[in-house]
Amino acid sequence: MNMSRQVAVIGGGAAGMMAAIQTAGAGAAVTIYEKNDRVGKKILSTGNGRCNFSNEAMGKEFYHGSGKALADEILSAFDVARTKDFFSSLGMRIKARDGYLYPASDQASTVLDLLRYELDRRHVTVHTEEAVRSLSFDEGRKQFLIGRRGKEAFYDAVILCCGGKAAPNTGSDGSGFRLAERFGHRIVRPVPALAALVCKEPFYKQVAGVRCDAELTLQVAGKEAARERGELQLTDYGLSGIPAFQLCRTAAYALLDKKPVMAQVSFLPDFDKASCDSFFRERISSHGEDGMDMFLTGIVNKKINRLLLKLAGIRETERVKDVSPAAFARLKGLYLGLETTVMGTNDFDRAQVCAGGVDCSEVTEYLMSKKRPGLYFAGEILDIDGLCGGYNLQWAWSSGAVAGRAAASDIM
Ligand SMILES: Cc1cc2nc3c(=O)[nH]c(=O)nc-3n(C[C@H](O)[C@H](O)[C@H](O)COP(=O)(O)OP(=O)(O)OC[C@H]3O[C@@H](n4cnc5c(N)ncnc54)[C@H](O)[C@@H]3O)c2cc1C
């Protein structure tokens, strides 16, 4: 036990609370600085208020950023099983839905309350409404100096857990990047990840509100860059829902580099060209005398049917047998790949996660800065972002635990 070692955690989000609990558990005296009036505000909005805190399917393939290999090590060092044990030991019953893990209460507040009780139990000092703007290393004392409201406080180690820039109403405003830069760290360009795609075409107004199973293929400068299937949500400005969210960071980086970004939407994701041809052939032979509105009823959502018909240049009242093969070919092409131009993504205010951050090649396997020993990082401040499905919180827990334990014992 090392009660004399003083450790500061800057940022009391998921990563910061986990880091503080682990550091205190290893015997150090820990102080959290949190700019909000309470810790863990973002946790309350996760998983639509239910907190999808992890996922049984885990691996580096679920993560992006400069630290994929590092993420693998950290996620193994404090893995899903240990995360479940940790929360169970605090008193949380856990439930899984298709591998997605939630508190059995279905309340994100359960996760936050248990973390807060544990901070108390481990005598972690929590300073709220304390935004840290100044962090330096005092060469004389060989300690870190945090300047706050005219007071000075010195620490043997500091863990930066300020998050990125996503959802700044929960506190993560990018100020952690500026603190890291003062120690010479490179910040990989931050962009919104897990946010909706804003598209150019005016037709979205006609289908806003529709949810459907679809496959999205993202093309950057004419080449396929990524593909996702799931429940798509059409909005009046473009594409939302999980498949759009998963493609967001790829689109955002391409647009930042001024590359053209297109998406193709397949509304018949189980069909390829051949099976779509035969599906239409059979339908045409049985509906020859019917109007096109009747022909399409039952294929997908009515608003989508109408939109695609219009884009194919076919009238709803036209009889099936009067529609030309060329018009049917256009219609089939639209069902299998409606093309849309991606102009942007929703901004950080409406993003769930921030891609980019502290370059992971500049930290050790214990998440300590290679530029300033004793300075550690955990959570979204690092250039690692996960897919939708509990991966970002798992990264916060795993990285917080690894950095917290290392900071307590000064593992390099
Ligand atoms: C709406 C929404 C839903 C989400 N749902 C899920 C989900 O279901 N599953 C999942 O895995 N992930 C989800 N996420 C993502 C997940 O919440 C984050 O990846 C995770 O919380 C990041 O944790 P963090 O501790 O690194 O950063 P944050 O949670 O952003 O915490 C950073 C903390 O640092 C504080 N801070 C910042 N700068 C300073 C400073 N200078 N001084 C003092 N304090 C500072 C902030 O106030 C904040 O409390 C969701 C995110 C959002 C916005």
pLDDT of residue 1: 45
Pocket lining: 390 vs ligand 1, CB cutoff 6 Å: yes
Residues 6+ apart with CB under 8 A from 81: none
Pocket lining: 6 vs ligand 1, CB cutoff 6 Å: no
Residues 6+ apart with CB under 8 A from 49: 107, 108
Pocket lining: 392 vs ligand 1, CB cutoff 6 Å: yes
Pocket lining: 396 vs ligand 1, CB cutoff 6 Å: yes
Q: Note the pLDDT tens digit of each residue in 243-271.
A: 999 999 999 999 999 999 999 999 999 99
Q: Which amino acid is at 230?
A: G
| Domains present along the chain, CATH in parentheses | 6-191+354-409 (3.50.50.60), 196-346 (no CATH)
Pocket lining: 16 vs ligand 1, CB cutoff 6 Å: yes
Nearest CA among 112, 119, 75 for reference residue 92: 112
Pocket lining: 354 vs ligand 1, CB cutoff 6 Å: no
Place of tokens 């558990």: 25
Q: Note the pLDDT tens digit of each residue in 95-111.
A: 999 999 999 999 999 99
Reduced to 3 states (helix: H, G, I; strand: E, B; else coil), residue 390 is coil
Mutate to test the pocket of ligand 1, among 162, 382, 398 (most ligand atoms within 8 A of CB): 162
Nearest CA among 120, 48, 47, 124 for reference residue 90: 120
Q: How far is the CA of 354 from the centre of ligand 1 (A)?
A: 9
Pocket lining: 100 vs ligand 1, CB cutoff 6 Å: no
- Ligand 1: atom nearest CA of 40 is 49
Q: What is the average pLDDT across 51-68?
A: 94
Q: What are 46's two structure tokens?
A: 């996760």
- Ligand 1: atom nearest CA of 394 is 11
Instruction: Identify any residues that bridge with 78 across adjacent strands, giving them in sequence order.
Output: none
pLDDT at position 411 over 70 = no
Nearest CA among 225, 194, 197, 179 for reference residue 357: 179
Distances (CA, A) of 225 to 33, 102, 142, 301, 333: 40, 32, 48, 28, 20
d(C-alpha 259, C-alpha 252), whole Å: 10
Average the pLDDT over each of 147-151, 250-254, 327-331, 336-340 and give the range with the smallest value: 147-151
Angle at the Cα of 108 (from 124 to 91), degrees rounded to 5? 60
- Ligand 1: atom nearest CA of 179 is 41
Question: Which alpha helices (H) appear in 92-132, and where do they start and end?
Answer: 108-121
Q: Are 320 and 280 in contact (CB under 8 A)?
A: no
Q: Residue of the nearest CA to atom 47 in ligand 1?
A: 171
Higher-scoring residue by pLDDT: 4, 279: 279
Pocket lining: 35 vs ligand 1, CB cutoff 6 Å: yes
The pTM of this model reads 0.95
Q: What is the average pLDDT across 5-20?
A: 98
Q: How far is the CA of 158 from the centre of ligand 1 (A)?
A: 18
Pocket lining: 385 vs ligand 1, CB cutoff 6 Å: no
Q: Residue of the nearest CA to atom 5 in ligand 1?
A: 46
Rounded to the nearest angstrom, the gap between the alpha carbon of residue 107 and the centroid of all alpha carbons in its chain is 20
Instruction: Band the pLDDT of 412: cuts 50, 70, 90.
Output: low
Mean pLDDT (the chain, rounded): 95
Residues 6+ apart with CB under 8 A from 278: none
Pocket lining: 176 vs ligand 1, CB cutoff 6 Å: yes
* R_g of the chain computed on alpha carbons: 25
Q: Is 56 left (phi over 0), alpha (psi -120 to 50) or beta?
A: alpha
Q: How far is the CA of 13 from the centre of ligand 1 (A)?
A: 5
d(C-alpha 383, C-alpha 259), whole Å: 22
pLDDT at position 2 over 90 = no
Q: What are 379's two structure tokens?
A: 């959570």
Q: What is the average pLDDT across 14-31?
A: 97
Nearest CA among 4, 5, 7 for reference residue 404: 7
Pocket lining: 389 vs ligand 1, CB cutoff 6 Å: no
Pocket lining: 262 vs ligand 1, CB cutoff 6 Å: no
Pocket lining: 175 vs ligand 1, CB cutoff 6 Å: yes
d(C-alpha 12, C-alpha 34), whole Å: 5
pLDDT of residue 152: 87
Q: 80-90 and 108-121 helices cross at what angle (nearest 10)?
A: 70
pLDDT at position 67 over 90 = no
Pocket lining: 156 vs ligand 1, CB cutoff 6 Å: no
> What are residue 221's phi and psi, to 5 degrees?
50, 45
d(C-alpha 334, C-alpha 201), whole Å: 14
d(C-alpha 362, C-alpha 177), whole Å: 14
d(C-alpha 282, C-alpha 79), whole Å: 51
pLDDT of residue 207: 97
Q: What is the average pLDDT across 359-369?
A: 97
Distances (CA, A) of 123 to 117, 400, 407: 10, 18, 17
Q: What is the average pLDDT across 232-241?
A: 98
Q: What is the average pLDDT across 381-390?
A: 97
Mutate to test the pocket of ligand 1, among 352, 381, 384, 402 (most ligand atoms within 8 A of CB): 352
Q: Are 166 and 350 in contact (CB under 8 A)?
A: no
Pocket lining: 12 vs ligand 1, CB cutoff 6 Å: yes
